[in-house]
Amino acid sequence: MLTNPRVLIGIPVFNEAKYVAAVLQEVRRYASDILVVDDGSTDATPHLLADHDVEVIRHPQNRGYGHSMQDMFRRADRDNYDWLITMDCDLQHEPMAIPEFLEAIHRDDVDVVSGSRYLQFSQGADTPPADRRTINVAITQLLNDRLGLSLTDAFCGFKAYRTTACSPLQLDVEGYEFPMQFWVQAVQNGLRISEIPVRLIYNDPDRSFGGPLDNPQNRREMYEAVFHRELLRSGSPDVLVRG
């Protein structure tokens, strides 16, 4: 058991000038090592980041959520962090929940601690847009059925990852479909997974995914296509059940 694990907080950002200063100020209360991946922001985000004592990886152009996740995994592995905690920068992930992830890390009995907005509903929780909830339920059920998981929230980006457990993963999906690839490879590599509840917050229910992904049917079809492609790559196209 790690008595004093080194933890890196990883935050992907894209045009988050509205929130980035407040989020970083709050995260600093709970963690000293913070990495921000600025995915090609065109607003004031880069200038605001310069006012904070955080490490920044900047993409000159937008590369996608999955690419930012890969950057964070590589940096945590390169710098010998024991764990990476990822969270969004739009105040939908509350920094005050970081200690709950740290408690789970100190229990040292899993490799992925996944936040769930649906594990239990807290007082004051927001109502998610109908299409996002419908897709989340359908894709989460697909993952559970095909991978032998028991997830309640397939898409929450508030997570903690054991660095050594994730380093063998071959992750190359660059967009919002990144979780589909991650979950298949996590099961394939025998990662131990647990969920902890996080509050359901939607500050901007109309936020764009970008281009054709704003169409819910396109988005669901993309998630399913990446999932089935990853199953084929794993060598288990019909089912990949945890043993």
Tell whether pTM > 0.75.
Answer: yes
26/210 Cα distance (integer angstroms): 28
Query: In the prediction, which pLDDT does 91 show?
Result: 80
Query: In the prediction, which pLDDT does 137 show?
Result: 95
Q: Which residues of the chain have pLDDT under 70?
A: 1-2, 121-129, 202-211, 236-243
The residue length of the chain stands at: 243
- Each residue's pLDDT tens digit, 115-139: 999 987 654 555 666 788 899 999 9
Query: In the prediction, which pLDDT does 170 show?
Result: 96
| C-alpha torsion angle, residues 199, 9, 77, 36 (rounded to 10) | 110
131/220 Cα distance (integer angstroms): 10
Kindly state the helix (H) or strand (E) to which residue 57 belongs, with its residue range. Answer: strand 55-59
Query: In the prediction, which pLDDT does 1 show?
Result: 58
Residue in the block written with tokens 């492609």: 229
- Asked whether 176 and 157 are in contact (CB, 8 A), the reply is no
- Asked whether 235 and 162 are in contact (CB, 8 A), the reply is no
Longest dimension (CA), the chain: 51
Instruction: Map out the domains of the chain with their CATH numbers.
Output: 7-234 (3.90.550.10)
